[in-house]
Amino acid sequence: MLRFYPAEKTILMTVAAIGLSAVVLAQTKGIAVDYTLFIKPALAALVFVALGQMLRRTGQYERPALLTTLIGIFAFDALVFSTYNVMLLPRHMAPVDEMLVRIDAYLGYSWPEFATWVSRHPWLADALRAVYNKTLVFLLLGYCVLAVAGRRERLHMAAYTSLFASLITIGLWSAFPSAGASGFWTLDPAVDAIVRAPVNSEYGARLNALIVHGVHDMKELNVGGLIGFPSYHTVMIAVAAIAVWPFAWLRWIGAALLAVTIPSILLHGGHNLVDVLAGALITATSWAIATKVHAVQELRPLVWRQASQVETAAVVPAE
């Protein structure tokens, strides 16, 4: 009998359904996909999940089981959702970047002006780039803290939040496609040379082309992230900060990382300010949904846990 908690099972089933949808979309749209490229990462994820099952069956290593299981789920999630986004291309709705830039102007923010200011402080550009590139790591570390501390309920709510936020983000982007600020503005070459944003104007131009024309072969894909609005990087760092909030010794570290990562997302992620604000709102909404869903699922008795308790009682000698 497989020993998954409801959240683990639900997330795995959802990711599997999204993965199947991606395959169907690829076949329907005639997008060439070399599926052999997915074998190694998928097997690695499967090994972690299987290891989690083995540890859990011992009845003695629940915390390592939580950690390894979630690492496997995390890997499956990243692999599937990053591929599914591509299968939604091209988008036939007009990009909303111009509207988002107008909202930014109303809020007093401009990506080119921010990039120009940072270019006067090259050390700051480098520091923010390093932080931006570690956003995914921060989220994974948040998961690890909860697993090691044995905070299963909060761990699963954080994982659920990431899942629901992914679904909401993809849904909004598919309805209102956006390449972000980098797809609307062209930075001064001198500024671009100093800032060296991973998501710069050249990257934004490639995103615009993909939104309009799509991709015919996954090997032709020359970008990483596709979504401008909302910012999923914001979701990742926000979930990480919320996850560790109950721990007084980590609370302010999480808050500090959040404060530093937001400007890094704006600059190096080529995002509008409204992208980040939307990401924060999606995180709050997803956490609220996750709390409700998790609470309902926890009311149901776990068959495998009851069976485990019976097995344990059977081997305990009578007094």
2-57 pLDDT, tens digit each: 889 999 999 999 999 999 999 999 999 999 999 898 999 999 999 999 999 999 98
Assess if residue 197 is contained within a domain: yes
Round to whole Å and give the CA distance between 304 and 111: 53
Assess if residue 318 is contained within a domain: no
3-state secondary structure 172-212: HHHHCCCCCHHHHCCCCHHHHHHHCCCCCHHHHHHHHHHHH
Mean confidence (pLDDT) of the chain: 92
What pLDDT, on the 0 to 100 scale, is given for residue 307?
Answer: 52
Assess if residue 81 is contained within a domain: yes
- The residue-averaged pLDDT of 207-221 equals 89
- The boundaries of the domain holding residue 170 are 6-301
* Banded pLDDT at 131 (limits 50, 70, 90): very high
- The lowest-confidence range among 23-37, 192-206, 218-232 is 218-232
Assess if residue 237 is contained within a domain: yes
What pLDDT, on the 0 to 100 scale, is given for residue 63?
Answer: 94
What pLDDT, on the 0 to 100 scale, is given for residue 1?
Answer: 72
What pLDDT, on the 0 to 100 scale, is given for residue 319?
Answer: 47
Structure tokens at 2: 């497989």
3-state SS assignment for residue 217: strand
Assess if residue 232 is contained within a domain: yes
CA dihedral 195, 198, 202, 204 (to 10 degrees): -120
Round to whole Å and give the CA distance between 139 and 225: 17
Assess if residue 311 is contained within a domain: no
Would the pLDDT of 304 be above 70? no
What pLDDT, on the 0 to 100 scale, is given for residue 316?
Answer: 47
3-state SS assignment for residue 32: strand
pLDDT in tens, 75-105: 999 999 989 999 999 998 889 999 999 999 9
What pLDDT, on the 0 to 100 scale, is given for residue 93?
Answer: 87
3-state SS assignment for residue 58: helix
- The lowest-confidence range among 123-132, 225-234, 286-295, 309-318 is 309-318
- The residue-averaged pLDDT of 271-286 equals 98
Q: Which amino acid is located at 314 in the chain? A: A
* Banded pLDDT at 193 (limits 50, 70, 90): very high
Instruction: Report the domain count for the chain.
Output: 1
Assess if residue 316 is contained within a domain: no
Of all residues in the chain, what percent carry a pLDDT higher than 70?
Answer: 95
Assess if residue 317 is contained within a domain: no
pLDDT in tens, 150-186: 999 999 999 999 999 999 999 999 999 999 999 999 9
**What is the pTM assigned to this prediction?**
0.90
